[in-house]
Chains A and B, each alone.
Chain A
């Protein structure tokens, strides 16, 4: 059925209008994104192209998150391929074929035969996926889609997609009957037979064809115009977001150059980088971040998804106002958007699960930096920062008490000119907290067994600056970095060993930017190394152990296997939490939470210990003094201290030494 000249002009005119409207909108969004600060995202082009292939075309961004409880990724896979196939279909057959009046030629080639067959399958799968999406949203109602889910919009959209495909298949059926399509495809054939059976006259079929054809065209144009105005802009922006993604490890932080002037951190949308502004448009509203956020799940006022989307909404507000009044600086991001940022434990779970590589965590750190700049603190945070400022550690320990502890533990104080195998970075918690000193004792025993010469820094060791930096106090952090590097500089040693993942992450990943060039190992890696080299031997006699992944060891540094390998050597049965490895659930101490004053909602450590209790294992192993403290605290609150034990891996290994 070829169109006449008038029809064809209307066809192209309508398309031009629709494209005009949507490209105008996209241009506005592009201008909004360009408001952001510069950031270098055109490096590693090969790797970037590869991520788009793997994560977008290969749909790994969805498939990586599929579990038995959450099959939504498969649905997205079908929708994605359906949309791709039909985009090509419409371009070839609708715009080129019918638009240019060469429909017959286009449709009757061998390629079209296969392609129309493929379209049938893709269309069916897409319809099934849309139907299951409707069931999911209408009946199952998973929590992660809330609280911004608009059911009205969704069902209107689902209905129009359903209509579009009904139109498509009807048209294909009619084409068979009207003999403009030589090939018969299964679904189209079904519709063709249907019209045969009801004995519709050819003339009526031709009229019906015209009506449905224009309805289908209307729907397609409708989508073209609607998409950039809705959250269905994500198919346009997500591939770019994945292309321009950050390659820095989870939770790593860009240092501030104080010479560049004020203000510090982010208080307005234009203080974000353009990549961070792009994230708001790329967000798919899937809510996986929110679903894995320990703060959100324990009723804190933070949702990573809503943070990104609210900032995006604010950006659109600012953008629409900008046209009228040209101000030097836009309005401050309102407090109701940023109120939750102090509840973030910086665990990085949201970054890990995000299918489009959004980094809510980076936004949170930047927003926190501005709070510090303006002098707004949580009471507990302020006290900890003040103490760190005055005494170089959040516990207000004096230098002499640090030295005393070295004598108590029986460890030398490092002096220049002496050769050491290991410099043991004890960390503030071990200097202060007796429970953490148990870990240090165990580590020292293991080192002694391996016959290694070890020393610690004593009073010259200051807070590594982890929590300081994550609370946004970059100035104090950089001061601590330089003090600590000064303390380490003159010493002669192989490795810096630490039993605290926070110190490990900071020393290993954040100090090199400031010129540090020493090797840092975590004690789980170190013990694993000693075991595999045969320098220490252990009995494999322990009962069941369940391992809790500390966020800063696992997600931040990908150290998942060494602790498990070590545990496998001392116990025959190493169990896993329901959330483990990169899906591990935070203990609630990270990101300065150890010192946070008041919190609403349930406690994060209670949540985690309940997961452990459900597994029925009596020994929980971990490898972080803060996880240890938080989980023990939760046990104490539950009154289960006698039944369950939280142990550091070093303590377990030391017990198993033979």
Chain B
């Protein structure tokens, strides 16, 4: 069984800032997209269970070696990085055409992608790949099982914890939802780590002619997040009386207490309601 996993290197969302003038993201720290990490974990589980051959692929400049090396250290068998300089502004559709070439060259039974990236979040890569590769696609997978050599079952999430289950035949593209698993941890100098460092990332230079260089979308604008509307009450500086009101939850609309027997109380409430709404 040959499993290909597409990895994307994204700027670390925790420290990334937007450069609004040049409409670009600034980041010094590039990390592996979390959903892709989980796709990798699924692939590695297939490797542990069925002896699948796991290849990771990324379209990235040289800095991409970092995540590919990481994937090797986590247990991937092969890592391929494809790149050509004009791709710096490429959109998902263009990248998918490169991935298609690489994946077809390796040969595959399953292609696993993360459902979405934390940087562009287009959720389109899996679908684009299935179009390019002419194989079925299942998106948002929260669990899957493989039966035999050629088929499997896929679970997708519906609202309120409901699940859909599809059966599918190899070859196929699956995009996994974040939360499908918890990726393993590979410690420095552990067995897997040492084996991974002995493997090398294969880099692939592409001829420009091979690439479908027509972007399907265009980035229009990056804007600052809108300021949030403020909720809550400022309590410093309030008098004790009003502070107690806040603490008892008596702010906002007016409240009134009616006492007496139930029938009397109900009559009073009814009268009050009439007074307010009529």
Contact = CB atoms under 8 A, between A and B. Distances in A.
Interface of A: 256, 258, 262-264, 372-375, 377, 379, 382-383, 385-386, 389-390, 398-400, 473-476, 479
B191 A385 contact: no
B184 A375 contact: yes
Contacts of B186: 375
23 contacts: A256-B189, A262-B189, A262-B194, A263-B191, A372-B187, A373-B189, A373-B190, A374-B190, A375-B185, A375-B186, A375-B191, A375-B192, A377-B185, A382-B182, A382-B185, A386-B185, A398-B14, A399-B15, A473-B187, A475-B187, A475-B193, A476-B187, A476-B188
A382 B181 CA distance: 13
Contacts of A389: 185
Nearest to B188: A475
B66 to A, nearest CB: 13
A374 B191 contact: yes
A473 B188 CA distance: 8
A398 B15 contact: yes
Interface of B: 14-15, 31, 182-194
B95 to A, nearest CB: 26
A385 B15 contact: no
Given A382-B184, A398-B14, A264 B189 contact: yes
A400 to B, nearest CB: 8
Given A262-B194, A398-B14, A398-B15, A373 B187 contact: yes
Given A262-B191, A375-B186, 19 more contacts: A258-B189, A264-B189, A264-B190, A372-B187, A373-B187, A373-B189, A373-B191, A375-B184, A375-B191, A377-B185, A382-B184, A383-B182, A385-B185, A399-B15, A473-B188, A474-B189, A475-B190, A476-B187, A479-B188
A474 B185 CA distance: 14
Contacts of B31: 390
Contacts of B188: 473, 475-476, 479
Contacts of A476: 187-188
B37 to A, nearest CB: 10
B48 to A, nearest CB: 10
Contacts of B182: 379, 382-383
A197 to B, nearest CB: 78
Nearest to A258: B189
Contact of A372 (B14, B15, B183, B190): B190
Nearest to A384: B185
Contacts of A372: 187, 190
A379 B182 CA distance: 9
* Shortest Cβ-Cβ A-B pairs, 4 listed: A475-B188, A475-B189, A386-B185, A382-B185
Contacts of A264: 189-190
A432 B15 CA distance: 18
A501 B15 CA distance: 31
A472 to B, nearest CB: 8
A323 B41 CA distance: 43
Contacts of A390: 31
A595 to B, nearest CB: 12
Contact of A385 (B187, B192, B194): B187
A72 to B, nearest CB: 43
B274 to A, nearest CB: 46
Contacts of B192: 375
Contacts of B183: 386
A400 B193 CA distance: 30
Nearest to B186: A375
B139 to A, nearest CB: 27
A293 to B, nearest CB: 27
A398 B29 CA distance: 13
B71 to A, nearest CB: 15
A11 B189 CA distance: 61
A474 B187 CA distance: 9
A239 B186 CA distance: 42
A264 B183 CA distance: 23
A373 B186 CA distance: 8
Nearest to B183: A386
Nearest to B194: A262
B30 to A, nearest CB: 13
Contacts of B193: 475
A390 B188 CA distance: 12
Question: B182, B183, B188: which has the most chain A beta carbons within 10 Å?
Answer: B188
Contacts of B194: 262
B136 to A, nearest CB: 34
Nearest to A396: B14
Contacts of B14: 398
Nearest to B31: A390
Nearest to A389: B185
